[in-house]
Amino acid sequence: MSYKKIQALTAILLLTFFYSCSKQEQPVVKKNTDTVSRNIPVKKDTVVVKDNDSLFDNITVTGVKKSADASTDVQKKLDDIFDKYLEIKNELADNDSVDTRKQAAEMLDGIAKASTDLEKDVSAKWKLDEAKFMKYQKAINDATTLKEQREWFNKLTVTLTEVIQKYGLPGKTIYELSGKNGKWLVDSKDSEDPYTGDDEDNSTGNVKVVRAWDFE
């Protein structure tokens, strides 16, 4: 057999050997790849279902037209008062008596300023409502315990609810909620109870949405 034929035969044998080896190794590679892929954590989209959604979705929202009893300035001042009310609510929900007093004091200052700014525009009705605001905010500020602050906050909520219905808060949706110990108002889907805070008995099951208004 010539030298060239021997080289050609050798090359064919080598190719056949390498092809056979590579074919046998493929399942192993595939198996390793599959094993690795199973061990890599896959990031998935997480859908968080909040209990709050069911609380608020089942309530009928009543549309309210712009009040003829209040000017734009009065409604703006009421909006500022409501914002401060929410801060007081949040501090009570956090069981923070000190910051509750601080927010109550700031709300008192805001009400007093509103009275000065609107001196020519306020009605007798507003002055009566304002006097109630001042009374309850001062009581919250002077209270020495969370229990007392929460009792006065409940009374403040009753008055604020009446005033908001009377004058309106344009562009806002207001929800009235109730728990085991009182009622409160929010302008978002927030069911945190200011009367129980982070106590063990504070649960969504104790909170109900009583009614809601959508102000024009």
Q: Quick: pLDDT tens for 131-164.
A: 888 898 899 999 999 999 999 999 999 999 999 9
Number of Cβ within 10 Å of residue 136's Cβ equals 23
**Higher-pLDDT residue of 104, 19:** 104
Strand-pair partners of 183: 178
pLDDT value of position 45: 30
By mean pLDDT, which of 26-30, 58-62, 110-114, 201-205 is the weakest? 26-30
Contact 62, 214 (CB under 8 A): yes
pLDDT value of position 133: 85
Query: Taking the domains of the chain in order of start, what are their residue ranges?
Result: 1-44, 51-215
**In terms of Cα–Cα distance, which of 190, 193, 102, 85 is closest to 141?**
102
pLDDT value of position 130: 82
Q: Quick: pLDDT tens for 55-97.
A: 888 889 999 987 776 777 788 888 989 999 999 999 999 999 9
Give the separation between CA 151 and CA 184, rounded to whole angstroms.
12
Q: Quick: pLDDT tens for 3-58.
A: 555 555 555 655 555 555 554 544 443 444 333 333 333 333 322 334 456 788 88
pLDDT value of position 37: 32
Interacting residues of 97 by C-beta distance below 8 A, sequence separation 6+: 143, 145, 146, 149
Contact 165, 213 (CB under 8 A): yes
pLDDT value of position 50: 40
User: Tokens 């700014």 map to which residue?
Assistant: 117
**Burial per residue of 90-129, b for 16 or more beta-carbon CB atoms within 10 angstroms, e otherwise:** bbbbeebbeebbebbeebbebbeebbeebeeebeeebeeb
Q: List the structure tokens of 169.
A: 């808060």
pLDDT value of position 16: 56
**Higher-pLDDT residue of 27, 102:** 102
**Higher-pLDDT residue of 208, 43:** 208
Number of Cβ within 10 Å of residue 150's Cβ equals 21
